[in-house]
Amino acid sequence: MTLLAIPPFLIFLVGAIAAGLAPSRFVALVVILTSVAAGALGYFAPDGVYARSVFLKYSLELAVGTNWSNIAQLGLALSILLIGIASKRSPDARAHVLGLSAAAFASGAISAGDLVSMYLFLELLVITLVLLIALGRQPRSQWAAIHFMVIQLLASIVFKLGMSDFHHEFETYSLSAINRPISELQFGWALLLGVMVKLSAWPLAYLIPMGIKGSSLVGRLYIASSLPFAGLVCLHWLTGSGHSEQPFILAAGGLMVGYALIYSFANGAEGIERSARWVVGLTGIALVALTSSNTLLVNMAVGLLPIGSVLLLSALPMHHAAPVDQGHVTTSSGGLLQRDTDRVLEFLVNRLVTPILELAQSLWSELISQLNASLATILKAARAFAGERGLLGQVWGIGPTSLWVIALLGLYGVIYLVF
């Protein structure tokens, strides 16, 4: 039951609120109750220790856990929050941010989930329910998210069929029809088809139903930020390096998408082009490093490389320091060598360290202000249905206590992800 964790749902709500698309009280209640109910079902499921441990780690401790998809979901959840914050800088994208967030979450969660397990239909049911309710006020976004989810589901099933260790039987609890050996030829075709579907699904499954042209601001932004992420995941599977490194790759991909959106919104068309260029280039670097070693430590560095590098490289042109005279380095004169060393250090401080610190400070200030506004909105919405005259008070007779429960859950989830 790794899919139905509380933190991603909470961050999904916070991201929607930060985007100015605050869901209704009923949506907030349904999301929270369905996630807890699904976790409870997993707790009492016949899988025993595994299901119980996941439920406890997610629903009670709000911890990351040990399964690789857990960290991937947290990365996607954080990117949703960043998307919500970034959307306030572009009125053109505000109408689409909720559908994009829901599609990204559903896609990542389905791709990360165990699609051929006994929980397949339960997971799909809950995801569909949440998307239908959360996107009810925006039919085009609703259709885009569901269309996106279906394509990702088909691609993921193809991947599951292809990644069956060539000749090993496909392990499953319920779908016994595919519990058979798979040949290398079948594996190759399935993997090729899966890669093609995934690479085409990311830019097209969202843009076509929304009626967004690929040349528009939102279209170029979406393709620039999501296609490298999809390619990174697909080629990671092609290298056959397994599951152990994937949390860092997916989490990095989610953060890359979020940062690319923030940077692109802040810098317009030029920002989109530069963001796409750096993300694509650094994705290639990460793939080269990924194929060279399968150790967890190396891939942790690979996962963090795109984030730090994109932040570093894109920050450089945003600040124009005074030109530095070209010095002459020589070993015969200690004075010249010392002076050139000072100039190099001054150049690094002015063009690298200071811009990064300024950018980090501005992003942090923006994040804190948006979190404060989002928490205030959550408290206001919770108070509206938790009071004696609110929804909970009228229907179930629940008093203001539920307000504090929901507020503490939301605050704990946000603090956990931020710090």
386: tokens are 């938790």
Report the distance separating Cα 130 and Cα 114, nearest Å. Answer: 19
Residue 285 near residue 305 (C-beta atoms within 8 A): yes
**Sorting pLDDT into bands at 50, 70 and 90, what band is 270?**
low
Report the distance separating Cα 54 and Cα 317, nearest Å. Answer: 45
Which stretches of 239-295 are DSSP H helices?
246-292
Contacts (Cβ under 8 Å, ≥6 apart) of 240: none
Residue 15's nearest CA partner among 135, 102, 145, 130 is 102
Tell me: pLDDT of 358 over 60: yes
Report the distance separating Cα 102 and Cα 62, nearest Å. Answer: 21
Tell me: pLDDT of 408 over 50: yes
Residue with tokens 């990460």: 286
* pLDDT tens digits for range 100-117: 444 444 444 434 343 333
328: tokens are 């002459």
pLDDT score of 3: 34
Length of the chain: 419
pLDDT score of 376: 60
159: tokens are 């991947």
Report the distance separating Cα 40 and Cα 263, nearest Å. Answer: 40
pLDDT score of 349: 58
Percent of the chain topping pLDDT 70: 0
Report the distance separating Cα 304 and Cα 296, nearest Å. Answer: 12
Strongest mean pLDDT among 35-44, 164-173, 247-256, 349-358: 349-358
Domain boundaries, given as residue ranges, for the chain: 1-212, 334-409
* CA dihedral (105, 107, 112, 116) positive or negative: positive
Backbone torsions φ then ψ of 54, nearest 5 degrees: -65, -45
Contacts (Cβ under 8 Å, ≥6 apart) of 236: 245, 246, 249, 287, 290
Report the distance separating Cα 55 and Cα 1, nearest Å. Answer: 7
- Supply the pTM of this predicted model: 0.25
Tell me: pLDDT of 19 over 50: no
pLDDT score of 1: 33
**Sorting pLDDT into bands at 50, 70 and 90, what band is 332?**
very low
* pLDDT tens digits for range 275-304: 444 444 444 444 444 444 444 334 333 333
What is the average per-residue pLDDT within 307-328?
38
313: tokens are 């490289």
Angle between helices 296-315 and 354-386 in degrees, nearest 10: 100
What is the average per-residue pLDDT within 118-146?
44
pLDDT score of 54: 39
pLDDT score of 224: 42
pLDDT score of 375: 56
DSSP 119: T
